[in-house]
Structure 1
Amino acid sequence: MKPLSVLSVTSEVFPIIKTGGLADVAGALPSALAQEGMTVVTLVPGYPAVLKALERPEVLHQYPGFFGGTARLLSGRAGDLDLFVIDAPHLFERSGSPYLASNGRDWPDNARRFAALGRAAADIGQGLTPGFVPDVIHAHDWQAGLVPVYLSLSDGPRPGTVITIHNIAFQGIFPADLLFELGLPTSVFTVDGVEYYGQISFLKAGLQLADRITTVSPTYAKEIQTPEGGMALDGLLRARSNIVSGILNGIDDKVWDPSTDAHLARPYDRDNLAARADNKRALQERLGLKPDPEALLFGVVSRLSEQKGLDLVLAGLSRLLADGAQLALLGAGDKALEDSFQTARIVYPGQVGCFVGYDEALAHQIQGGSDALLVPSRFEPCGLTQLCAMRYGSIPIVARVGGLADTIIDANEMAIATGAATGFQFGPVNLGAALDAFDRAKNLWRDKSAWQRLQENGMGADVSWHRAARQYANLYRSLRSP
């Protein structure tokens, strides 16, 4: 039997274009799947950064009229990735965020932009590229949600379809009067198609029509089937629960490897944890923190939003920083939170350091130099920063939700005694429970041998993509035509 071929459809892919964890998943999964005998090509919009990264592009198809302009489908490689790229300047030749204009609002034509992504994917699935006809199309998030819809309108055989929910809060909802502009007939504007409370929802459409639905952790798969976690899609997901599964994300253990990480002041591994002290000192220096090796240094690498629970960190900051503890933060998002952390840096000189924005090197340095990493999310489909923290020997302190609950073993008395603990969990997600977790971490910090055991446990855990790749491969095989 020939190797199974997969078209991965995504709006961002690391290391070329990234706004969040979706890019990390889309960038790391293809190489992990190759170990499972899968051939993966990734379809991505032709943003300027993508076209710049594409090596020796080949034109596969010309679209004379494609959602408002001419376009080309290109193929090529970018690093280790095999790519198909939609070169449509009228849709994608824009600087900055893939989704937002400079004023912070969604691009007004996002419906057309990501309908184009779905349309091209469906065309490839129907044989547009004879050299690569996928057995399975894997659509990621709402931006690829129309792939199963366009395929459903085509005659003849079609590939199996999988849609992955990376965050159900983002659903791609647009006015119903765009239906014709998106090349969709009125027949699909039903409760069993793209219609969603009188509008068009890209994500709902994909969930309704895909052959399989996955999300990025087993606990989140359960949470999104409840009214509290389903963001009004819980009924649909319960109705299709027999095809819903949670596959826990991994991280790229070559990119995230403290023994080879060029971003660190000094590399180290599980058997040389003392070398982390140099990274802590370098991090303190970079962010203007007091150079104190005994200060418990908390780290944050996060989008700044209510979802991520960073307001809890601000509300409990005086307690968090008591006894000389420190905070190193990297993130951007909600302007009020950005300003509040900048103010905290002034109010607590030498104890709070922050960088508002995106800095990949600093993200690695916080993982390698902090003693503990805070992830107090109100909901979290999977989370990747806590996996990176484990890999780097920074103890995760997480809310007991979604993938955070699935990946971190709480340092309760029994887990410490049996040598299983890897971090701290708290719940419910409120200030009181968060403060208790901060205090538990501070108490354990005083026991250096117990703290080191947690570090060693986390660094010894398999947080790679290997297990997830096997699960995805089995899922794809279940969809392959006999």
Structure 2
Amino acid sequence: MKILFLAAEIAPFVKVGGLADVAGSLPLALAELGHDVRLAMPRYYVVDPNKWGLRKIIESLDVPIGIGTTSIQVLEGELPNDNPNARVPVYFIQNQHHFERDKVYGYADDGDRFAVYCRGVMIMLKSLDWRPDVIHANDWHTALCINYLKTIYRDDPFFAGVKSVFTIHNLAYQGVLSPYWLGQAGLSHLGLVWGDRDGMVNIMGRGIAYADAVSTVSPTYASEILTPQYGEGLDWLLNYRWGHLWGILNGIDYNIFNPSTDPYLISHYTAKTVENREDNKTELQARLGLPVDPNIPIIGMVSRLADQKGFDLVASSAERILEKGVQLIVLGTGEYGYHEFLYWLSHRFNSQVRAILGFHADIAPKIYAGSDMFLMPSRFEPCGLGQLIAMRYGSIPVVRHTGGLVDTVQEYYPDSGVGNGFSFGSYEPVHLLAAIDRALAVYHQPNLWQDLIRKNMQRDYSWTSSAQQYLNFYRQELGLS
């Protein structure tokens, strides 16, 4: 198959969230299975052409925006990869006005910016004379490509037979804009369409409505978003598309997330040498200025600081968690109120709490390898990668029973040995605390705990299985071979 994979962020070039990890890993896994996979993303200011060896392959293309045009250039690079038989080109849409900024998202003109990106991708494909079998768009920033494919380019012979897939990574972010914006995108002649709602343009809704097939990032989340509780106002549309909606669990790149080779760890280990893991725990404690004692249980969190991730629940439970004699280490950035709370908590409980507010690539793996438990009390979680990475590194997940956390973490029962972590359902402090208590009870039985670590480290959450499911998805839903 010839697959064009679209995402607003792709690791390692630029990363805001888990979407970047998926966009940097799934295409490689598909390429390793023998398919021609290419990516396209904006060339942001932080993407250094010299660092990534980008070369300009198109000097200038005019892209309509509003009543005029803007000029884009196209640069080409590759996803870093050790497999010479799985080359994955990446096309970067360059436009100084729209993309050379400090942030990826969060600007008042994001609608215009991603319209230029999406229209630019369609024009670029014709210029390169490369026609994909499927355009695989991810989240609202790329959904206009599917909208354009089924409207402006519907009768264009070049795009005849091109299929489309839209993947929802987080339904909460929809790209809701004024109807007046349609003129900017060149779509005013169509007016509002059935993917829109409440008199506003809904770009996420358009992706769902126009795509030949829709997927999301875990089976449970695919079921949850059909309900008013999780559907974010689009449950009616998703129910309409239910027959073409799949839930395919994300994976993680086992070459990157590998405790036997991770360059940031002081001591490497495998499921057969779990005893070496303890050196990483004491090194983490020493580095962060916590009391160094391998017997003190460490609860780690690497997360965006937001209500969605359960930080309101953490805030209301924190002091009672710390009464259990644990150390709590949090790495992340997000809502200002949670920054303030974690500053206060780390000063109030200086011997137990450390908050690293920002993203530090060298510290995240140290937390995965040095913590005993990994906490994810999410209000909702489409898939979640943190729990998969934690298990890979031997940190036992304590999670809320929602979304992809349901599909990857099952309650551990010491008597039977069934399960791989600890979970709770009701979004209340008492249930979070009870799950931590169950985890601590097993932690204090070292033989059981070590067996649980080994079992989790041997689980396979690599992209190989997920990539095969996506191929089945393309074949069954799009008729591709």
TM-score category by the smaller chain?
Answer: over 0.9
| Equivalent AA in structure 1 for residue 94 of structure 2 | D
- 1:160 equivalent to 2:163? Answer yes
Quote how far apart the aligned CAs of 1:301 are.
0.3
What corresponds to 1:269 in structure 2? 270
Give the C-alpha shift of residue 292 in structure 1: 1.2
Q: Deviations along 1:278-302, whole A, 9 cap, x unmatched?
A: 1111111222211111001000000
Match of 2:174 in 1: 171
Q: Residue 323 of structure 1: CA displacement?
A: 4.0
Alignment of 1:373-392 (within 5 A): 373-392=374-393
- The alignment partner of 2:190 has SS state of helix
Q: Secondary structure, in 3 states, of the residue corresponding to 2:285?
A: helix
3-state SS of 1:85 partner: strand
User: Are the aligned partners of 1:69 and 1:90 in contact in 2 as well (CA < 8 Å)?
Assistant: no
One-letter amino acid of the structure 2 residue matched with residue 282 of structure 1: E
Match of 2:57 among 56, 59, 81: 59
1:88 paired residue among 88, 95, 100: 95
Unaligned runs of 5+ in 1: 100-105
**Residue 113, structure 1, aligned to residue 109, structure 2:** no
1:61 Cα deviation from its structure 2 partner: 5.9
Q: Distance in 2 between matches of 1:316 and 1:273?
A: 31
Q: Match for residue 333 of structure 1?
A: 334
User: What SS does the corresponding residue of 2:46 show, helix, strand or coil?
Assistant: helix
Shift of 1:78: 4.7
Give the Cα separation in 1 of the matches to 2:133 and 2:52: 24
> How far is 1:136 from its partner?
0.6
What is the CA distance between 1:188 and its match in structure 2? 4.6
Quick one: which of 83, 96, 104 aligns to 1:98? 104
Deviations 1:204-260 (A, max 9, x none): 000000001000000000000001000000000001100000000000111100000
Question: For residues 206-355 of structure 1, what are the structure 2 equivalents within 5 Å?
Answer: 206-355=207-356
| 1:217 and 1:247 in contact (8 A); partners too | yes
Kept in 2, the 8 Å contact 1:279–1:369? The answer is yes
- How far is 1:420 from its partner? 2.9
Distance in 1 between residues matched to 2:246 and 2:63, nearest whole Å: 38
**Aligned partners of 2:197, 2:164: CA distance in 1, in Å?**
21
CA distance in 2 between counterparts of 1:481 and 1:409 reads: 35
Letter in 2 for 1:211: D
Contact 2:409/2:420, CA 8 A, preserved across alignment:
yes
Give the corresponding residue for 1:13. Answer: 10
CA distance in 1, matches of 2:197, 2:408: 34
Instruction: Give the CA deviation at 1:65.
Output: 4.6
Amino acid at match of 1:122: M
Contact 2:144 2:206 in 1 (8 A): yes
- Cross-structure match for 2:22: 25
Q: Distance in 2 between matches of 1:158 and 1:288?
A: 60
* Counterparts of 2:58 and 2:313, CA distance in 1: 51
Instruction: Check 1:136–1:61 CA distance in 2 against 1; reply closer, same or farther (3 A cut).
Output: farther
Match in the other structure for 2:142: 144
Instruction: For 1:59 and 1:188, locate their aligned partners in 2 and report how far apart those are by CA, in whole Å.
Output: 36
Q: Is the 8 A contact 1:36 1:473 kept in 2?
A: no
Distance 1:87 1:339 in 2: 38
Query: Aligned to 1:69, what secondary structure does the other structure show?
Result: strand
1:365-444 aligned at under 5 Å gives the runs 365-411=366-412, 413=413, 416-444=414-442
- Please say if residues 63 and 123 of structure 2, whose CA atoms lie closer than 8 Å, have aligned partners that are also in contact: no
Deviation of 1:173 (Å) = 0.7
Question: For structure 1, which segment, 429-438 or 43-52, has the greater mean C-alpha deviation from structure 2 after superposition?
Answer: 43-52
SS in 2 for 1:48: coil
- Matches of 1:460 and 1:420 in 2, distance apart? 15
The CA deviation at 1:62 is 2.1
Residue by residue over 1:71-94, the C-alpha shift from the partner in whole angstroms, topping out at 9 and shown as x without a partner, is 112223252341111011111011
- Specify the SS of the correspondent of 1:329: strand
CA separation in 1, counterparts of 2:387 and 2:185? 39
Q: Which residue of 1 aligns with 2:128?
A: 129
Q: CA deviation at 1:480?
A: 4.9
Q: Secondary structure at the match of 2:362?
A: helix
TM-fit CA distance, 1:60: 3.0
Q: Give 1:423 deviation, angstroms.
A: 0.6
- Residues 54 and 75, structure 2, Cα contact 8 Å, conserved in 1: no
Aligned mates of 2:255, 2:374 — CA distance in 1: 21
Separation in structure 2 between the aligned mates of residue 119 and residue 82 of structure 1, nearest angstrom: 19
Give the Å deviation of 1:318.
2.2
Q: Corresponding residue for 1:359?
A: 360
- Structure 1 residues 393-448: Cα deviation after superposition (integer angstroms, max 9, x where no partner): 0000000000001001211x3xx333332110111121111011011111111101
Deviation at 1:124, TM superposition (A): 4.8
* Structure 2 unaligned blocks of 5 or more: 82-87
Q: Which amino acid aligns with 2:118?
A: G
The question of whether the paired residues in 2 share the 8 Å contact of 1:419 and 1:453 is answered with: no
* Amino acid corresponding to residue 99 of structure 2 in structure 1: F
The CA RMSD over aligned residues, in Å, is 1.5
Q: Decide which moves more: 320-329 or 370-379.
A: 320-329
User: Identity percentage over the alignment?
Assistant: 39
Quick one: distance in 2 between partners of 1:409 and 1:323?
23
- Over 3 Å counting, the alpha-carbon distance change for 1:220 and 1:78 in structure 2 is closer
1:45 aligns with 2:48: no
**CA separation of 1:151/1:61 partners in 2, compared to 1, >3 Å: closer, same or farther?**
farther
**What do the CA deviations read for 1:326-375 (whole angstroms, capped 9, x no partner)?**
00110110111111011111111110011001111111110000000000
* Shift in Å, 1:51: 4.4
Residue 457 of structure 1 and its aligned partner are, at CA, apart by 1.4
Alignment partners' CA distance in 1, 2:480 and 2:120: 22
Q: Distance in 1 between matches of 2:35 and 2:418?
A: 34
Following the alignment from structure 2 to structure 1, what is the Cα–Cα distance between the partners of residues 307 and 46? 30
* Paired residue type of 1:164: T
Give aligned pairs, total. 465
Aligned to 1:103: none
Deviation at 1:152, TM superposition (A): 1.2
* 1:55–1:76 CA contact under 8 A, matched in 2: yes
Which AA in structure 2 matches 1:179?
A: L
Pick from 453, 456, 460 the counterpart of residue 455 of structure 1.
453
**Structure 1: how far apart are the matches of 2:400 and 2:43?**
37
**Are the counterparts in 2 of residues 54 and 78 from structure 1 also a CA contact under 8 Å?**
no
Distance 1:219 1:253 in 2: 24
Structure 2 CA distance, aligned partners of 1:140 and 1:298?
33
